[in-house]
Amino acid sequence: MSIRIQEGGHEISGALKYMLKKFEKMPIKLCVDPEEGALHIARYIALAIRQKQQDNQYLVLGLATGSSPIKVYNELVRMHREEGLSFKNVVSFNLDEYYPLKADAQQSYVRFMHEYLFDHVDIDPANVHIPDGELPIEKVEQFCADYDKKIQFFGGLDIQILGIGRTGHIGFNEPGSWLSSKTRLVKLDHVTRVDAAKDFGKEENVPYRAITMGIQTIMSAKQIFIMAWGSHKAEIVREAIEGEVSEMVPATFLQGHANVKFYLDPRCRGRANSG
């Protein structure tokens, strides 16, 4: 007989809970809702920032765009406004940017980061790093090599936050990306371009390429938080946390990271296993 318990407002059976645990190859945190997950991650980041402040050191943050981390940024902004959390000792490196794309384009990740975080906190603009979608093509390779070097110069990423795409991408490391990949110019998967079409009006307007941190760059982070909310991510999340490690689902590489946590809501984790 299975015991029924309440989890995140959804009732799931004890047997199902056991099944989920049995197949998980990386630690997960099943949150009541995205708000709970975002609060948890934002509090962890705030604590890390304050600890580094006490030691007079920088905190090096790897940042993601897209819908998944927006509530984390909202909470960090709130903490800055209401609790005096300062970002003066934060150095940030964003995961990716479409290529080519002007920084002032509506869809640019530069614009996104300013809208949701940088314009509302006291981070030093000189400490903000986002891949440059405006570079002439002949300068991209050097830019990417320098991006990885800069991360190392600051002592590596302390915390990296991630979302996951329907292709299983992290950053824009699409299926076929190698574990040893570094920051580079990549071709976007068709599914990723279809998903981005809503932001660009239509699919034809979505750039075919992007600059992204590599898998190796991401895996070098000391702590990784990855988030997925909603039933549309359930299938790829199941592959990421239960499947064999494979370059066809780049998020599976995270199974090999010593300090990763996957934040999910019940819509995202429940459904893939119930059928």
Active site residues: 174
State the DSSP H helix or E strand holding residue 273, giving kind and residue range, or none if neither.
helix 266-274
Judged by beta carbon, residue 87 or residue 229, the one nearer ligand F6R is: 229
Judged by beta carbon, residue 17 or residue 150, the one nearer ligand F6R is: 150
Q: Which residues contact 258 (CB under 8 A, 6 or more apart)?
A: none
- Angle formed at CA 247 by CA 243 and CA 252, multiple of 5 degrees: 35
CB of 105 to ligand F6R, least distance (A): 15
Judged by beta carbon, residue 91 or residue 188, the one nearer ligand F6R is: 188
CB atoms within 10 A of CB 245: 15
CB of 266 to ligand F6R, least distance (A): 17
Closest CA to 27 of 217, 219, 207, 254: 254
Any idea what DSSP says for residue 170?
A: B
Please give the full DSSP string across 70-81, using - where no structure is assigned: HHHHHHHHHHHH
Could you tell me if 234 and 268 are in contact, meaning their C-beta atoms sit under 8 angstroms apart? yes
CB of 166 to ligand F6R, least distance (A): 8
Could you tell me if 30 and 265 are in contact, meaning their C-beta atoms sit under 8 angstroms apart? yes
Interface residues with ligand F6R (CB under 6 A) are 64-68, 95-96, 163-165, 169-172
Judged by beta carbon, residue 45 or residue 95, the one nearer ligand F6R is: 95
CB of 11 to ligand F6R, least distance (A): 27
Could you tell me if 93 and 123 are in contact, meaning their C-beta atoms sit under 8 angstroms apart? no
